Amino acid sequence: MYNFDIERPGTVADAVSALGREEAQPLSGGQTLIPTLKARLAAPSVLVSLSGIEELKGVRMEGGKLCIGGGTTHGRVAREAEAHYPGLASLAARIGDPAVRNRGTIGGSLANNDPSACYPAGALGSGATILTNSREIAADDYFQGMFSTALEEGEIVTEVRFPVPSAARYEKFIQPASRFPLVAAFVARFEDGVRVAITGASNNGVFRWPEAEVALSSSFTADALEGLTLSGDEMISDLHGSGQYRAHLCGVMTKRAVASLV
């Protein structure tokens, strides 16, 4: 790992100004960034730590939405969102392992947008809004492909607001070596329709599955998904599974999610 300075601001405003320094990058839980730095895949000269910023932490209900501070750990979401949005709390409770959940944060996960990460499916599947230090971005506009988001240089995810569905389930087919999903589906049932988001499968990162949403919105049963398929052509193909296999898993995970809710 190349060396760098670490700044530890106490407010978002100070963090934003520290990020104005040359080659500065935010550090949140470090559960993705530290391995990346060790592999010398990133070489920032300054890391701006968000871990000491209290205003970035917490879980609360406001205006019917579940609001989670960008610096809130997965472990805290698992505990504190349970009463408000159990489907999302259960997603957070299955990220990595307990020690990873005690450090890793929702803001870090959404900023990174790993094509196999869990939170992008939760955010897109819920139709969440991502708040930054300067604006609000709808999840539908935020995720822009593998490791790519609408965030600008130096922009910080400060909060994520989740509309709370009447029922939701995250089905994760685990890749046991990494503990990330191989493929996972997030299904959320709202009064006005169903949203389905898939992670781990596509070369373009997290995506919605419109045909499944239409089918489930008219009949919320696993049978409604019968015959619906996704093409394996645009899917990730690696030693853990071919694109065809992942495409198949999308259907299986979505069905399992629905079956667990009816």
Partner 1 sequence: MPQVKMTVNGKAASGEVEGRTLLVQFLREDQGLTGTHVGCDTSQCGACVVHVNGEAVKSCTMFAVEADGAEVATIEGQAAPDGTLNVIQQAFQDHHGLQCGFCTPGMVMSAAALLKDNPKPTEADVRHYLDGNICRCTGYHNIVKAIMAASGQDVGAIAAE
Ligand X SMILES: Cc1cc2nc3c(=O)[nH]c(=O)nc-3n(C[C@H](O)[C@H](O)[C@H](O)COP(=O)(O)OP(=O)(O)OC[C@H]3O[C@@H](n4cnc5c(N)ncnc54)[C@H](O)[C@@H]3O)c2cc1C
Interface residues toward ligand X, by CB under 6 A = 25-33, 50, 70, 95-96, 100, 103-105, 107-109, 111-112, 114, 117-119, 151, 156-157, 179-180
Binding mask 204-243 for partner 1 (x = CB under 8 A): ----------------------------------------
Mask 83-122, x = binds partner 1 (CB under 8 A)? -------------xxxxx-xx-------------------
Contact status, residue 236 vs residue 200, Cβ threshold 8 Å: yes
What is the per-residue burial (b if ≥16 Cβ within 10 Å, else e) of 216-235? bbeeeebebbeebebebeeb
* Closer Cβ to partner 1, 80 or 193, answer by number: 80
Q: What is the DSSP letter of 133?
A: S
Query: By C-beta, is 4 or 220 nearer to partner 1?
Result: 4
Contacted entry of ligand X, partner 1, none for residue 1, CB cut-off 5 to 8 Å set by kind: partner 1
| Token pair of 96 as six digits | 């990595």
Shortest distance, CB of residue 93 to partner 1, whole angstroms?
A: 10
C-alpha torsion angle, residues 204, 117, 85, 170 (rounded to 10): 80
Distance CA 109, CA 204 (A): 16
Work out how close the CB of 49 gets to partner 1 at its nearest, in angstroms, rounded to a whole number.
6
Distance CA 92, CA 73 (A): 9
Q: How far apart are CA 155 and CA 20, in angstroms?
A: 10
Return residues touching partner 1 (CB under 8 A): 1-6, 8, 27, 30-31, 34-35, 37-38, 47, 49, 51, 75, 96-100, 102-103, 179
